[in-house]
Chains A and B, each alone.
Chain A
Amino acid sequence: MFNGLDPALYAHSPLTETAENRRVRLDHRTMTSTMKMYGKHRFHGKLFVVEGIDGSGKSTQVALLQKWLESEGYVTFFSEWNSSPLVREVTRRGKKKRMLTPMTFSLIHATDFADRTEHHIIPPLKSGALVLADRYIYTAFARDVARGVDPLWVRSLYQFAVKPTIGFYFKISLDEAMKRILGGRDAIKFYEAGMDLKITDDIEESFRIFQGRIIDEYEKMVSEFGLVVIDASLSIEEQQEQMRQIVSDALAGTKKTRIRKWLDLSTMVKKASRQ
């Protein structure tokens, strides 16, 4: 029977209609998505993520990787940690006013990541793009567990995440990372130093202890999640060379969609027509 043609189904009085009539009448448009879990997504696109502590040089490396992929004719999409327009402001304020506990720190970052997943990761992957992520769920696992959050709980919290094609871990010693950070930036941030844990009043000492815990967590995750370790003490060029080799193997058979070229072309046309 075709629901739409049965007049009985339309002769409903809002307040007296039976549940069964309603069910039948609305059945054909009740569409609920089912939640896909880590490792269960299937997309045309590929996801490459970079992980490591601050000062490991991962952001430099992912930027170079993106340049190369685009020059090779792939469509890329870049997504970074803490970048959801809906959530970022709450996180920023929470950090500034030091309102975050280990639990809310964990949950607000998961919220931000959920928004990125819904907007910046799944849609480009569906379209066949290469998504590059600067920090991913492993950042949360490392930081939250270093703050005392249950490792199993935080892993289940992020189960909605898409499993990366490759997760790179930029491995660097704490001393080397500290040299790079202290040289470049003037202040270590409160939460990055784990000052909320009140380990010690000395921010540099707290940073050292907290980031040390984070490195321990990353080390554990290398085998747990099959992260690809890059020695971040090597030269920038050597690291990039390794990354490109690994990514290029993972891309064997992936279609290059030269949409980028068309976009470039259209801006050129616009420029030309303005002159």
Chain B
Amino acid sequence: MARFEYYGKKGLPTVNLEELKGKLIVIEGTDGVGRSTHIGLLKQWLENNGHAVLDTGMTRSALAGEGLKSAKEGHTLGWLTMTLFYATDFADRLENEVIPSLRAGFIVLTDRYIFSQMARAIIRGADQEWIKKVFEFTLKPDLVIYLRVGIQDLITRVIQHSGFNYWESGMDLHLGEDMYESFVEYQTRLLREFDNMAGEYNFKVIETSPNIEEVFDQIKSSVEPLLEARRPRITTNPS
């Protein structure tokens, strides 16, 4: 039996699931929660342990990345179009990066998956059942780690790092009188949607904290059960 299945009954017409050998690990979380830091650490740790790793973000595909970027710079992009544009971009990545790597037996670490896109669409008015259907063609990951953060911590992090930007603040939704107000309201809603999805999609929820090592230890212990039993450690300098 194939290791992987789709969220829906039918998935990608050109893919044979039987061929997929690797593992798919997703790190989800809202903007500025430290996803890329932990993906970097996880990749290093896995490689040190002898696993081949592909780390990939789920946007900026060869097909739609540029088009999506320029669409977001304009002012005519509606939420429905944006949602489907992201879905296209996602499908291109899935078919051209993730699946070939899984076929080759890699551990694929993805920075976000369908969940951010679903959450963004829902708070913009997408029907919940509809958006679930749209993403039914995607593979069920082996593990979805959700890095959870409270809104207050998030604000502090974002101010310290990059500041507020238009889309991360949901400015297209006119939720607040300025970017700060909008950011808080938008991200609060996003966090609520993630919490709603956590049960249904079996998220491994990890509360983030300023202590990176502490968080990473938790990530490691949730990844460990997925790994092949390791042979005794080989050292380069046997005594």
Contact = CB atoms under 8 A, between A and B. Distances in A.
Interface stretch (B47-55, B86-94, B198-206, B210-218): B86-94
A107 B138 CA distance: 13
A4 to B, nearest CB: 12
Contacts of A37: 127, 130
A14 B125 contact: no
B63 A102 contact: no
Interface residues of B, number: 50
Contact of A118 (B64, B81, B181): B81
Given A118-B81, A156-B133, A100 B91 contact: no
B71 A99 contact: no
Nearest to B180: A14
Contacts of A87: 67, 71, 81, 85
B62 interface: yes
B123 interface: yes
Contacts, number: 134
A114 B80 contact: yes
A156 B67 CA distance: 25
A14 B184 CA distance: 9
Nearest to B126: A35
B84 A107 contact: yes
A119 interface: yes
Interface stretch (A42-50, A147-155, A199-207, A259-267): A147-155
Interface in A127-175: 147-150, 152-153, 156-157, 159-160
Given A32-B124, A90-B63, A147-B13, A110 B84 contact: yes
Contacts of B12: 101-103
A32 B133 CA distance: 21
A93 B92 CA distance: 14
Given A33-B125, A104-B63, A115 B184 contact: no
Contacts of A19: 151, 188
A108 B88 contact: yes
Interface stretch (A22-30, A52-60, A64-72, A224-232): A22-30
Given A15-B155, A87-B81, A34 B125 contact: yes
A86 B80 contact: no
Contact of A102 (B14, B127, B130): B14
Contacts of B156: 15
Given A86-B67, A149-B13, A159 B130 contact: yes
Contacts of A110: 84, 87-88
Contacts of B8: 150, 153
B160 interface: no
Nearest to A84: B81
B3 interface: no
Contacts of B78: 114-115, 118-119
B80 A160 contact: yes
A111 interface: yes
A140 to B, nearest CB: 12
Given A35-B127, A103-B14, 13 more contacts: A26-B175, A29-B176, A32-B124, A34-B127, A86-B67, A87-B71, A87-B85, A108-B63, A110-B84, A118-B78, A118-B80, A147-B13, A150-B10
3 smallest CB-CB distances across A and B, nearest first, come from: A148-B13, A90-B67, A118-B78
28 contacts: A14-B155, A14-B180, A19-B151, A22-B185, A26-B181, A29-B176, A35-B127, A85-B76, A86-B77, A99-B62, A103-B13, A103-B91, A103-B137, A104-B64, A104-B88, A104-B95, A111-B85, A114-B81, A115-B78, A117-B80, A118-B78, A118-B81, A119-B78, A149-B13, A150-B8, A153-B136, A153-B137, A160-B130
